[in-house]
Amino acid sequence: MQKATAYHDGLGDFFAERADTSPHNAYTDRPAMLRLAGDVSGARILDVGCGAGHYASELSARGAQVVGIEGSATLLRHARVRLNGHAELVLHDLEEPLAFAADASFDGAVCALVFHHIRNREQLLSELCRVLRPGGWLLMSTSHPTADWDHFGGSYFSHEWSDLVLAGGEHSIHYQRMPLETFLGELLAAGFVLEQLVEPRPTAALREFDEAAYDKLRQAPSFLAVRLRRP
Ligand SMILES: C[S@@+](CC[C@H](N)C(=O)[O-])C[C@H]1O[C@@H](n2cnc3c(N)ncnc32)[C@H](O)[C@@H]1O
């Protein structure tokens, strides 16, 4: 049996809490991706793998109309509490087509730290192209390939499915490491046009909260984030 990639039960609860304040999510990935999003007021946005709704909540506070989709019922429960009706939330396995969404029905899509969990990425990207309007944008972040290389070792070019044990050792997440050329190559092959690529550094606020994490994340990249356009 294939390992689950969506974060169920205890792992879902753990991630929901961690995403609130973790140096990686709250101070590094999210601020960088939200900067890439720019002005979203009035935009209809699909939050792909919305987790506990942290992005959906920020985007809806900035005036966007958000639909969040997520494969873990545990995380959707957290998202419902966080969003309190301010976004539409759908339980959906991202290995399946986005059958609930009409063609060209979104102005933008956010897919934060989800892509490397998905096996059928070609289908997901083709579906994102379909549901985005022409000229619509896609923001995607993923684990930085050099961070995975540093952590798991072996070849930089490895495409191995790996288990990252999270702090405390009680939980792990299952995802596919991949080199930069695979990540970008798949996005470009799907027809997206690259507009911007950043290697997010933590915001200055992290220095007050956790100086050691701030120093570490300033020096070694943990994520890649890109803004793409659907022609
Ligand atoms: C690192 S979390 C990121 C969550 C959210 N985007 C954020 O940044 O806070 C990865 C998310 O992808 C979801 N996920 C992984 N595989 C999935 C699948 N096959 N279908 C739906 N969701 C999936 C997990 O349940 C989890 O919510």
pLDDT tens by residue, 26-61: 999 999 999 999 999 999 999 999 999 999 999 999
| Residue 103 confidence (pLDDT) | 98
Q: How far is the CA of 51 from the centre of ligand 1 (A)?
A: 5
Residue with tokens 């049996």: 1
What is the residue with the minimal CA distance to atom 15 of ligand 1? 6
Ligand 1 atom nearest to CA at 5? 16
- Taking the C-alpha atoms of residue 186 and residue 70, their distance in angstroms, rounded to an integer, is 22
Interacting residues of 216 by C-beta distance below 8 A, sequence separation 6+:
none
Q: Do 110 and 37 touch, CB atoms closer than 8 A?
A: yes
Residue range 151-180: mean pLDDT, rounded = 95
Residue 221 has pLDDT above 90, yes or no: yes
Query: Does the beta carbon of 46 sit less than 6 angstroms from any atom of ligand 1?
Result: no
- SS3 letters across 75-130: HHHHHHHHHCCCCEEEECCCCCCCCCCCCCCEEEEEEECCHHHCCCHHHHHHHHHH
- Torsions phi, psi for 141 (to 5 deg): -125, 155
| Phi-psi sector, 109: left (phi>0), alpha (psi -120 to 50), beta | beta
| Residue 208 confidence (pLDDT) | 95
Query: Does the beta carbon of 226 sit less than 6 angstroms from any atom of ligand 1?
Result: no
Residue 108 has pLDDT above 90, yes or no: yes
Residue 1 has pLDDT above 80, yes or no: no
User: Strands 44-48 and 106-112, how do they pair?
Assistant: parallel
| Residue 168 confidence (pLDDT) | 78
- Torsions phi, psi for 196 (to 5 deg): -155, 145
Q: Do 56 and 65 touch, CB atoms closer than 8 A?
A: no
Q: Choose which residue among 17, 55, 117 to substitute to test ligand 1 binding: the one with the highest number of ligand atoms within 8 A of its C-beta.
A: 117
| Residue 125 confidence (pLDDT) | 98
- Torsions phi, psi for 140 (to 5 deg): -135, 135
| Residue 167 confidence (pLDDT) | 75
Question: What band does 2 get if pLDDT is binned at 50, 70 and 90?
Answer: confident
User: Strands 161-165 and 172-176, how do they pair?
Assistant: antiparallel
Domains defined for the chain, CATH in brackets: 9-229 (3.40.50.150)
Q: Choose which residue among 7, 144, 176 to substitute to test ligand 1 binding: the one with the highest number of ligand atoms within 8 A of its C-beta.
A: 7
Residue 92 has pLDDT above 90, yes or no: yes
Check the CA dihedral 114-116-120-125 and report its sign.
Answer: positive
Check the CA dihedral 153-159-160-161 and report its sign.
Answer: positive
